Amino acid sequence: MTRNLQAHLSLFGSSLIFGANYWIAKGLMPVYFEPFQIIFIRLSTTALLFWAMSLFIPKEKINRKDLVLIAICAMLGVVINQIMFFEGLKLTKPVETAILHTTSPIMVLIMSHWLIKERVTNAKAWGITFGFLGALTIVLNGQSLSFSDSNVLGSIFIFINIVSYSLYLVLIKPMMSKYHAITIMKWVFLFGFIAAAPITGPSFARINWEIITPFIWFSLSYVVIASTFIAYIMITFSLKYLTPSVVGFYIYLQPFVATITGVIFYNSTITIVKIFAAMMIFTGVYLVSKKAPKGSIQVSERY
């Protein structure tokens, strides 16, 4: 199995995790946890897991300039990303949040071209278009849409969330060819936790642990370990062998996975429209995965 194929499988796996996470995390709020409480638990636990895992890989010294860039990436990909997402989700409807997130791969493609000179091929542009239309079809299918004045601030927060994560994917990419993925992630989450703790820490003290049931413990474990620790490993590994725009494109799979999860576990129905939308998304996967002509950026084979 080639590294390229492994990277695509990792991205597909992360999409499965994030797609199911929509349903699992939904049951945690607001009865059992507040958003900031979940963020605090996610960042602190994930930082500890990455530092523990780093004990089993060769020790690497990161130069000061790269450490500064990693700290910036931590602010973008962990702190701003998560805080803006949860705050935006509180003020907007889920369908509006999902629609705004369909612009994320487009944002990644634009930033990749602008910041690291990633070549935008016709196939990649068409792939992004097919994925966008497919994801939008799934999100809007049977849903009502109303961007009212009360949701404007929430929409702004979600847009900041999208921009910050898109920048994170592009800026963290050069680090992939220099350091091990675990080395990068342990610093990203340490910096992220330190920056977010003053904001999210006070809410952690208000958690009522007595009402937490075994199922809620399982759900929280999934959100922390699967959708944070494991998913970030998968995405970081994939960035070593694929361009940021390809990695970002897999966001389009999440509405599809969420739909399938709903069909299997929550009695949702699958329709011809959803099947057609899924075909558009997978067509997009094929197009963005096509090997670019000579002159596009080369991806490292070190891991």
Here the tokens at position 187 are 């610093």
Strand partners, 296: 294
Q: What is the mean pLDDT of residues 241-247?
A: 86
Going from N- to C-terminal start, the domains of the chain cover: 3-289
pLDDT in tens, 182-231: 999 999 999 999 999 999 999 999 999 999 999 999 999 999 999 999 99
8 A C-beta contact, residue 273 and residue 141: yes
Distance separating alpha carbons of residues 72 and 79, to the nearest angstrom? 10
Give 209-213's long-range contacts (Cβ < 8 A, gap of 24+).
211/31, 211/32, 212/32
Nearest Cα to Cα of residue 82 among 210, 180, 168? 168
Amino acid, res. 78: V
pLDDT band at residue 252 using 50, 70 and 90 as cut-offs: confident
The whole-angstrom separation of Cα 215 and Cα 213 is 5
CA-angle at 170, arms to 167 and 173, nearest 5°: 140
Question: What mean pLDDT is predicted for residues 13-33?
Answer: 82
Q: Which of 89-103, 177-191, 233-247 has the highest mean pLDDT?
A: 177-191
d(CA 78, CA 39): 9
Give pLDDT, residue 94. Answer: 58
CA count, 13 A, side-chain hemisphere, 149: 0
pLDDT at site 300: 35
CA pair distance 127, 226, nearest whole angstrom = 28
Give the mean pLDDT of 84-97: 71
The two tokens of residue 238 are 């994939």
pLDDT at 286: 77
With pLDDT > 90 as the criterion, what percentage of the chain qualifies? 37
**Exposure on the CB side of residue 285, measured as CA atoms within 13 A:** 21
What is the C-alpha R_g of the chain?
19
DSSP percent split of the chain into helix, strand, coil, nearest 5: 80, 0, 20
Q: Note the pLDDT tens digit of each residue in 152-182.
A: 777 788 888 888 988 999 999 989 889 999 9
Q: List phi, psi (to 5°) of 296.
A: -80, 170
53 vs 265, more confident: 53
Query: pTM to 2 decimals?
Result: 0.78
